[in-house]
Every structure is written in structure tokens, then in C-alpha cells.
Structure 1
Amino acid sequence: MALHVETRKLTVAEFHRMEFDDNDTHLYELLDGELVKKEASTPEHQLLVRDLAFAMHSFAKQQPLDEVIFAPVDVFLDEYNSPQPDLVYVDKTKADLITNDGIVGVPTLVVEVISPSPVYRDRVTKKALYERFGVQAYWLVDPADEYVEIFTLVEGQCQLLSAASLEEGQLTSNVLTSLPLELKNLFA
């Protein structure tokens, strides 16, 4: 007979009351009630996030009230989910989601830059989480392979809209339709 041990899910409120050692350099996020420790990002990762944020911010400035926010920022999806995506795009119809505590609700677009250790988390766990909560677009950027995948929500399912590697040029998104993503500039 197998023994089934029930583990209690941690809530967002409990997560935010937790105290961490001042010398702890990790970031934490809450995924389906489980506390997940993230390693500090590499300089390559941060430079890539910066370049993406700059391109997205330039686009957002042309759209009144659209905003781009980069990590670390809490995205409160529900009582048990508070991921910290690398970049979050919130269009003007959702501007009220942005609060002093973080983003409370479902953003328009989320970008995750894959780090070496949590590949499964970004490719599977977070993709499923964003799909479940109805994030309109999910960009997955792989700096190791110089590859970008753009997923879009179609009838509640996260489907691959487009993908390209450095050699293939540029991508566009269904959310940021007039922002061509030049891969040679991104991975330069």
C-alpha cells in the first residue's frame, strides 16, 4: 500500500510574510503554492532582458498607458501563484493591474529568458501556468541556442505562433504587432 502525503500549499499572503536571510542572493516566486528559489541572473541574461525591455518600452511609449516592467516584480495571479517573469507587458486596458505591491491580475504578455538551471520550469511549468490564467502572449527566449518562441492564447490553449533562431531574422507578435523583434540585435 502506497503512502500518500498531502503537502499544504503556501499562500501568497504567507509567502510575503516570510523572512529571508539578508545574505540570501536568490529570488523567490510562488508557483501553485510551492516556493521556488531562483538563482541570481547572469550578466548575459540581464543584458538580454535589458535589450528586450528597451525595445518593448520604445514600443509602449507610442501606446498611451501601455507599460513594460522587468524583474523582480510580483505578478499576483491568484492566492497560490505569484511568479516573477523577466518582463511583463501590460496594455492600457489593464493599466489598473499595476499597483505599488506588484501586478495584481493577468498581464497581457509575459517574457521568460531561459536560464541554464530551470529550463523545465520556463518551458513547461510556467507556460502551463500562464495558459491557465489566460495570459494573451508568452515569449520564451533561449540565449544558449539564440532562439525565440512566441506563444499566443487561442481558445484557452497556448499555441506556438512563431519561432526563429538568430539566422532566421526577425519575429513579430500578435500582441505587439508593429514591433519586429530583430534577433541579430537581440543576440549581438
Structure 2
Amino acid sequence: MSEEKPNDKKKQPEIIRESYVTYDDYANMPDDGNRYEIADGRLELMSGPGGLHQVISKTLSDTITQTCSQDYIILTAPFDVILSQIEVRQPDLIIVHRSRKSIITRRGIEGSPDVVVEILSPSTRRRDKLDKIKSYAKYEVPEYWIVDPDSYSLELYLLRENGVYELADLFNADEPVISPRLTCLSFTMNDIIAVVKDTLDWA
């Protein structure tokens, strides 16, 4: 269901600098119109999101905000999550409990959010499901969601005591999305599909 062209599917985030990069290096880079992340001290160029990706992101953000904004702050990319001096990510959605709002600074999120959400695309699937899952676990993000636009499914991972994520649930169709942390949620993936299809004739 993704709108990316077939020849885009093999594209991977490009490592543009092999030398060690810190947040300070990253923050002082001139703005060239591109988006970057720092992965274990390596600067990576991010691919631009497509229309389907963006509509799903906005729909999820709006839907979660409707029932959870009293307790949580919901932010969307591009917004830096500074996990360390050598690990800076830009999740599609970032969710922070209001009791921890002090981690939201002028620079970005400084520390681990309560929940991060990544929406898959052909160019980011490998990174989101392999690289980022290790990164978010290492820096102790308690909950990680992966949304797949092809199947309109939501995988919910919980960080266990051994420091590894476990797939706690998989939500499809009319199954209510349930999170141990966000008890305020009230939606299904079919709710998301309905809004997306109302917005995009080709979705």
C-alpha cells in the first residue's frame, strides 16, 4: 500500500561520515536541508518520508492526542531525541508523560521518552526493525511501537529486565490498541485506516 516506487525499495539510510561524530558536531553543522541521525557516533542521512507515511503519522498523533493529552505530551518528527552524545534519533512520534516534561528542552528530548513510534517504509524497514530496536533498548526506552503501512498493523514491544525488547502484542483491524503505559488509548488500526483512506484517494 506504500506509495514508494519499486526502485526506492533497496535504498538504505546513507552513512555520510565514518569518523566519530558527537551531538555537538551535529548541532554545529550548517543547515543543508537534509535530516540526519547519529547512530553510535556515525552520522546517517535520513530519507524523506512519503505521503502515506506522513498521513499515518499525523493521524496517529491526532488520535492519541484526543484521549491522552491530559497525561502525555505527543511530539512528531523532525525532533531530536538525544539519547547520548553519540546517539541522536528522530522517531516519527515521541510520547512523554507530563511528569517527565523536564526532559523536553530547547535542544530536543534529552533522555529516553516513555514511548517511541516508528512508521515503516521500504527504505527504513531494516533500520527500524533491527538497528533502532537495539538502540532504543540500549538507552532504556520502555515501549517501542512499529507501525507497518503495508498491513496496517502495530507491533508493541516492551523493554524487559534483561534490557531486551519483547514483542508484547500485535494489533490489527478492530482489535483495540492496548498499552501498559498509555491506558488512555482508545483506537483500533481500522480507525487509522478509515482516516487515511478518507484523506488519500490512492491509499
Pick the TM interval, shorter chain.
0.7 to 0.9
Distance in 1 (alpha carbons) for counterparts of 2:69 and 2:98: 11
Distance in 2 (alpha carbons) for counterparts of 1:93 and 1:130: 21
Distance in 2 (alpha carbons) for counterparts of 1:68 and 1:139: 14
Q: In structure 2, what is the equivalent of residue 177 of structure 1?
A: 183
Q: What is the SS of the residue equivalent to 2:87?
A: coil
Q: What is the SS of the residue equivalent to 1:179?
A: coil
- Once the two structures are superposed, residues 56-113 of structure 1 have per-residue CA deviations (whole angstroms, 9 ceiling, x without a partner) of 21233232xx211100000001010110000000002311001111111111000000
Alpha-carbon RMSD across the aligned residues, in angstroms, is: 1.5
TM-score of the superposed pair, with normalisation by structure 2: 0.81
Unaligned runs of 5+ in 2: 1-17, 195-203
Which of 158, 165, 170 is matched with 1:152 structurally?
158
Q: Does 1:122 align with 2:133?
A: no
Unaligned runs of 5+ in 1: 1-6
Q: In structure 2, what is the equivalent of residue 102 of structure 1?
A: 108
Contact map agreement 1:169 1:182 (CA 8 A) in 2: yes
Return the offset for 1:145. Answer: 2.0
- Write out aligned runs for 1:36-55 (5 A): 36-55=44-63
Distance in 2 (alpha carbons) for counterparts of 1:139 and 1:44: 18
Distance in 1 (alpha carbons) for counterparts of 2:117 and 2:152: 15
Q: In structure 2, what is the equivalent of residue 29 of structure 1?
A: 37
Letter in 2 for 1:60: C
Q: What is the SS of the residue equivalent to 1:187?
A: helix
TM-score of the superposed pair, with normalisation by structure 1: 0.88
Contact map agreement 2:172 2:190 (CA 8 A) in 1: no
Distance in 1 (alpha carbons) for counterparts of 2:56 and 2:154: 12
Percent of aligned pairs sharing the same letter: 31
Return the offset for 1:170. Answer: 2.7
CA distance 1:31–1:133, shift in 2 (3 Å)? same
Number of corresponding residues: 176
Distance in 2 (alpha carbons) for counterparts of 1:62 and 1:76: 25
Return the offset for 1:179. Answer: 0.7
Q: In structure 2, what is the equivalent of residue 59 of structure 1?
A: 67
Q: In structure 1, what is the equivalent of residue 119 of structure 2?
A: 113
Q: What is the SS of the residue equivalent to 1:82?
A: strand
Return the offset for 1:40. Answer: 1.4
The answer to which structure, 1 or 2, has the higher relative contact order (CA under 8 A, 6+ apart) is 2
